[in-house]
Amino acid sequence: MAPDPSDEIAYDRRRLRQWARGRARSAGLERRDLLKLFAAVSAAGPLGLTATEAAARESTDAASPGIVKPLPPEVFTVRGTNAETNFASLRGTGLLTPTDHFFVRNHTATPRIDAADWRLKVWGGGLTGGPVEFGYDELRALPSVSRTLFVECAGNGRSFYTTQQGQQVTGTAWTLGAVGVARWRGVRLADVLHRAGIGRHAVDVLPRGLDDEVVSNGVNLGRVRRPLPVTKALDDVLLAYEMNGEPLPPDHGHPVRVIAPGWVGISSVKWVGDIEVSDEPLYTPWNTDMYRLFGAAYPPGGSAPLTRQTLKSAFELASGATLPAHRRTVLTGRSWSGGAPVRRVDVSTDAGSTWRRARLHDAPRRGSWVRWSTPWVPHERGPAVLLARATDATGRVQPPTAVHNTQGYLFDAVVRHPVTVV
Ligand X SMILES: Nc1nc2c(c(=O)[nH]1)N[C@H]1C(S)=C(S)[C@@H](COP(=O)(O)O)O[C@H]1N2
Q: Which residues of this protein are in contact with Mo ion, per CB under 5 A?
A: 105, 153, 265-266
CB 152 to ligand X: min, Å: 7
- Our CB check for ligand X shows the closer of 84 and 392 to be 84
CB 291 to Mo ion: min, Å: 8
Among 9, 127, 234, 266, contact with ligand X (rule: CB under 6 A): 266
Site string (110-129) toward ligand X, x via CB under 6 A: --------------------
Helix (H) or strand (E) holding 216: strand 214-216
Restricting to residues 3-62, name those near ligand X by CB under 6 A. Answer: none
CB 154 to Mo ion: min, Å: 5
Please list the residues that pair with 18 across neighbouring strands. none
Please list the residues that pair with 51 across neighbouring strands. none
Under rule CB under 6 A, residue 265 binds ligand X: yes
- Our CB check for Mo ion shows the closer of 180 and 265 to be 265
Helix (H) or strand (E) holding 39: helix 31-44
- Our CB check for ligand X shows the closer of 151 and 311 to be 151
CA dist., res. 231 & res. 203, Å (int): 8
Site string (189-218) toward ligand X, x via CB under 6 A: --------------------x-x-------
- Our CB check for ligand X shows the closer of 53 and 204 to be 53
Q: How many CB atoms lie within 10 A of CB 225?
A: 25
CB 43 to Mo ion: min, Å: 25
Restricting to residues 80-109, name those near ligand X by CB under 6 A. Answer: 102-107
Among 89, 217, 268, 374, contact with ligand X (rule: CB under 6 A): 268
Under rule CB under 6 A, residue 261 binds ligand X: no
Give the one entry of Mo ion, ligand X, none that residue 107 binds, where binding means its C-beta sits below a cut-off of 5 to 8 angstroms depending on kind: ligand X
DSSP annotation of 235: T
- Phi-psi region at 218: left, alpha or beta (left = phi > 0; alpha = psi -120 to 50): left
CB 298 to Mo ion: min, Å: 19
Give the one entry of ligand X, Mo ion, none that residue 134 binds, where binding means its C-beta sits below a cut-off of 5 to 8 angstroms depending on kind: none
CA dist., res. 241 & res. 249, Å (int): 9
For the chain, how are helix, strand and coil distributed in percent, rounded to 5?
20, 30, 50
Q: How many residues bind ligand X (CB under 6 A)?
A: 18
CA dist., res. 420 & res. 422, Å (int): 6
CA dist., res. 158 & res. 160, Å (int): 5
- Our CB check for Mo ion shows the closer of 9 and 104 to be 104
Please list the residues that pair with 209 across neighbouring strands. 272
| Distance between first and last Cα of the chain | 49
- Phi-psi region at 300: left, alpha or beta (left = phi > 0; alpha = psi -120 to 50): alpha
Which residue in 384, 225, 250 sits closest to 317, CA to CA? Answer: 384
**What is the DSSP track for 74-141?**
TTEEEETTEEEEPGGGGTTS-SSPPGGG--B--SS------TTT-EEEEESTTBSSS-EEEEHHHHHH
Give the one entry of ligand X, Mo ion, none that residue 224 binds, where binding means its C-beta sits below a cut-off of 5 to 8 angstroms depending on kind: ligand X
Give the one entry of Mo ion, ligand X, none that residue 268 binds, where binding means its C-beta sits below a cut-off of 5 to 8 angstroms depending on kind: ligand X
Site string (239-258) toward ligand X, x via CB under 6 A: -------------x------
Site string (151-180) toward ligand X, x via CB under 6 A: x-x---------------------------
- Our CB check for ligand X shows the closer of 160 and 174 to be 174
Under rule CB under 6 A, residue 312 binds ligand X: no
Is residue 4 within 8 Å of 190, Cβ to Cβ? no
CA dist., res. 341 & res. 182, Å (int): 16
Residues that bind ligand X (CB under 6 A): 102-107, 151, 153, 209, 211, 224, 252, 265-266, 268-271
